[in-house]
């Protein structure tokens, strides 16, 4: 694909449906993001190469300022890359226009943010239905999807409420329902438990685990190793570069008499 914005977006409509079995859901090559302001240059992302398979759950970790959230925003088209390539579902997307990225997100990318980003002038029901409507669902289909998601998340009774009337944990569950409403190929989650207490953190993680078990691909930024342990892989960033990429291999219960232990199998140093 050329770097000029395409007139059409010929990606498949169904989640995880790829051109070939070996085609990564997401791939980057020499990805770079540079910020320039008042004569100061900051290299937030420096030559990142990653691959991400359909249905995979990957956690991105690293110290503050390592480029975690920036990487997620660039991969979702919220910020343009300075250089390098981004491929999604076998198509190169880093050259899309703002409108092209908007259409791509409607069809294939869901976002969950640390601070929820719900529309305060709309009800919970409207917040969840909107992405499905924008993706082309009928009002009836969007309503059915919303009812299923809110019921699954245990907040069906909040459908008519304003987001500001909900607790932080409830707002995050609404945000997760909204992100899943259009059945995206890829769910991007930026510190989804960063502002939650332990109880609400467990609820959100349980829901993410369930979505992953249903085949949802998830790319999640987190600073919490306990949260990252839910993933299939952990990518550590340092100074905008991939420091290591390790697969999490659960150790069967009963081995050495200890349960809930994970073993990191290094993929790349």
Q: What is the reported pLDDT for 252?
A: 61
Q: What is the per-residue pLDDT for 115?
A: 80
Give pTM, 2 decimals.
0.82
Q: Is the pLDDT of residue 269 over 50?
A: no
User: For residue 18, is it within any domain?
Assistant: no
pLDDT tens profile 132-190: 888 888 999 999 999 998 988 889 999 999 999 998 888 888 998 999 888 899 999 99
Does a structural domain hold residue 78? yes
Alpha helices per DSSP H over the chain: 68-75, 98-108, 124-134, 139-152, 168-180, 198-213, 225-228
Residues 178 and 262: their CA atoms lie apart, in Å, by 31
The confidence score (pLDDT) of residue 124 equals 95
What total of structural domains would you count in the chain? 1
Of 30 and 137, which is predicted with more confidence?
30
Answer yes or no: is 217 within a domain.
yes
pLDDT in tens, 201-255: 887 888 888 889 989 999 999 988 888 988 999 999 999 999 999 998 766 655 5
Average of per-residue pLDDT values in the chain: 84
Specify the pLDDT at position 254: 55
Please indicate, yes or no, if residue 11 is contained in any of the structural domains: no
CATH code for position 212:
3.40.50.300
Q: Is residue 79 part of a domain?
A: yes
pLDDT value at residue 251: 60
How far is residue 219's CA from residue 233's CA, in Å, rounded to a whole number?
Answer: 10
Statement: residue 268 has pLDDT above 80? no
CB atoms within 10 A of CB 241: 16
The pair of three-digit structure tokens given for residue 53, joined into one six-digit string:
């398979």
Range of the domain at 208: 26-268
Q: Is residue 3 domain-resident?
A: no
Look at residue 32 and tell me whether its pLDDT is greater than 70.
yes
Alpha-carbon distance 235 to 244, whole Å? Answer: 6
80 domain residue, yes or no: yes
Q: Is residue 216 part of a domain?
A: yes
Please give the average per-residue pLDDT across 15-29, as a whole number.
72
Number of helical H runs and strand E runs in the chain: 7, 12
Inter-residue contact 204 to 173 (CB < 8 Å): yes
């Amino acid at each position: 694909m050329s770097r000029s914005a395409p007139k059409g977006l010929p990606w498949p409509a169904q989640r995880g449906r790829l051109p070939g079995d070996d085609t990564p859901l997401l791939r980057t090559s020499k990805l770079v993001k540079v910020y320039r302001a008042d004569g100061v240059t900051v290299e937030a992302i420096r030559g990142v190469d990653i691959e991400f398979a359909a249905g995979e759950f990957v956690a991105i970790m690293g110290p503050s300022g390592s480029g975690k959230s920036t990487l997620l925003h660039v991969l979702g088209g919220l910020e343009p890359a300075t250089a390098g390539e981004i491929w999604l579902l076998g198509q190169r997307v880093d050259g899309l226009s703002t409108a092209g990225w908007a259409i791509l997100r409607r069809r294939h990318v869901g976002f969950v943010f640390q601070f929820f980003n719900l529309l305060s002038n709309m009800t919970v029901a409207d917040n969840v239905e909107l992405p499905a409507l924008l993706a082309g669902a009928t009002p009836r289909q969007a309503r059915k999807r919303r009812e299923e998601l809110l019921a699954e998340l245990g907040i069906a009774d909040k459908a008519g409420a304003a987001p500001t009337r909900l607790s932080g944990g409830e707002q995050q569950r609404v945000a997760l329902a909204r992100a899943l409403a259009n059945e995206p190929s890829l769910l991007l989650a930026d510190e989804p438990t960063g502002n939650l207490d332990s109880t609400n953190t467990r609820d959100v993680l349980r829901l993410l685990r369930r979505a992953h078990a249903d085949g949802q691909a998830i790319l999640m930024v987190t600073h919490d190793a306990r949260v990252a342990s839910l993933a299939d892989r952990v990518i550590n960033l340092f100074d905008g570069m991939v420091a290591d990429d390790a697969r999490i291999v659960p150790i069967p219960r009963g081995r050495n008499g200890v349960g809930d232990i994970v073993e990191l199998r290094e993929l790349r140093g």
